[in-house]
Amino acid sequence: MSKVKFGLSNVYYAIATIAANGSASYGTPVRIPGAVSLSMDPVGDAVNFYADNVTYFKNTPNAGYEGTLEIALVPDSFRKDVLGDIEDSNGVLTENANAAAVSFALMFQFEGDTDATRHVIYNCSAARPSVASATKEESIEVQTEELSLTAGTIYIPALDTDVTKAKAKKTDAPYTNWFSSVYQAAGVSFAVNESTVEIAEGTFKVIAFTGNSGAVSAASSNSDVVASVSGNQVSISVDEDASAGATVTLTDEASHTATITVTLPA
C-alpha cells in the first residue's frame, strides 16, 4: 500500500467530447513534457443538518477539483488543442480571445509512489498561464509555467453514475496501456452463482458470489427466509413454517447489489 507520493511523471492530456447525457469520448492522449508538480484540491462544502441536538445528516458533495499543474513550458500542442491558440501559415501562434472552453482528461503518474499509481481526471478545463520571465543574472534560474485547472464530473454509463477520477496500480490489468487511451470503467461484476433457487421448508442452501467490493451484507424480503454471509458465500435458510419464498439482496461496501430469488417447492 502506498504511503507517500512524489515524482510526478507521464503527464498526458486527451481532448474530451461531452455527450448530451454527460458521458465523454476522448481523443488520443498527448504527452506534456517537463512536468514539475501537480496540486488538485477537492471542491465541495460539507452539509450538516442538525436535529434532536445532534448532527442528524451529514454529507460532503463531490464537486470535482481545483488546482495547478506546473510544467517547464506549456507545449504548443496544448495551446492549440486546449487553449485555442491559432497557428498561422508562418508557424506563429496567436492567442484567440474568442476561444471556447475545451474539456480534456488529465493523465499522470506519481513515480515515487510505491505502487507507481497511474491516474486520470476525466473532465478538466484550463485557464491561460501567466506571462512572466526575468532578466539573466550570474546564475540561471529556470522559470516555469503554471496552468490553473478545474475538474468537474462525467457520467460513466457502465457504472450508471457520475465520476471525477480513477487510478490503477501495477497489478491492475489496464495499467500497462494506461496512457494509450483514456480508461473508462467497465460494468461491475458483482454476481451470485445462482440467481434463482428452490429451498424446501426447514432446510438451507449455500450460494457463492464473486466480484464484490469489500464486505457483503444480506437482507431478505421475508422474515421466514434468513440469509447470512460468511466469506464469499451466503447461507439461506427457510423456516419450516414458511408459506412463501423471498428475494435476498446482497450489498457490498461500494453499494453494488446482487439478488437471489428464493422459491418453495410446489
Residues 99 and 215 reside in one and the same domain: no
Residues 6+ apart with CB under 8 A from 92: none
Coil, helix or strand at residue 87: strand
DSSP 8-state symbol, 222: S
Residues 136 and 209 reside in one and the same domain: no
**Residue-wise pLDDT tens digits, 144-174:** 899 999 999 999 888 888 999 999 988 888 9
Residues 118 and 144 reside in one and the same domain: yes
Residues 31 and 122 reside in one and the same domain: yes
**Residue-wise pLDDT tens digits, 5-25:** 456 889 999 999 999 999 999
Q: How far apart are the first and last CA of the chain?
A: 52
Coil, helix or strand at residue 154: strand
How many structural domains compose the chain? 2
What CATH number is associated with residue 243?
A: 2.60.40.3440
In a domain, 249, yes or no: yes
Residues 26 and 83 reside in one and the same domain: yes
How many C-beta neighbours within 10 Å does residue 185 have?
13
In a domain, 1, yes or no: no
Residues 135 and 40 reside in one and the same domain: yes
Residues 204 and 236 reside in one and the same domain: yes
User: CA 240: distance to chain centroid?
Assistant: 47
In a domain, 182, yes or no: no
Residues 106 and 162 reside in one and the same domain: yes
Could you list the residue range(s) of the whole structural domain that residue 209 is in? 191-263
Last residue in a domain, options 175, 201, 222 = 175
**Residue 254, CA atoms < 13 Å, CB-side half-sphere:** 11
Residues 224 and 159 reside in one and the same domain: no
For residues 114 and 5, the answer to whether their CB atoms sit within 8 Å is: no
Q: Give pTM, 2 decimals.
A: 0.65
For residues 208 and 189, the answer to whether their CB atoms sit within 8 Å is: no
pLDDT of residue 86: 95
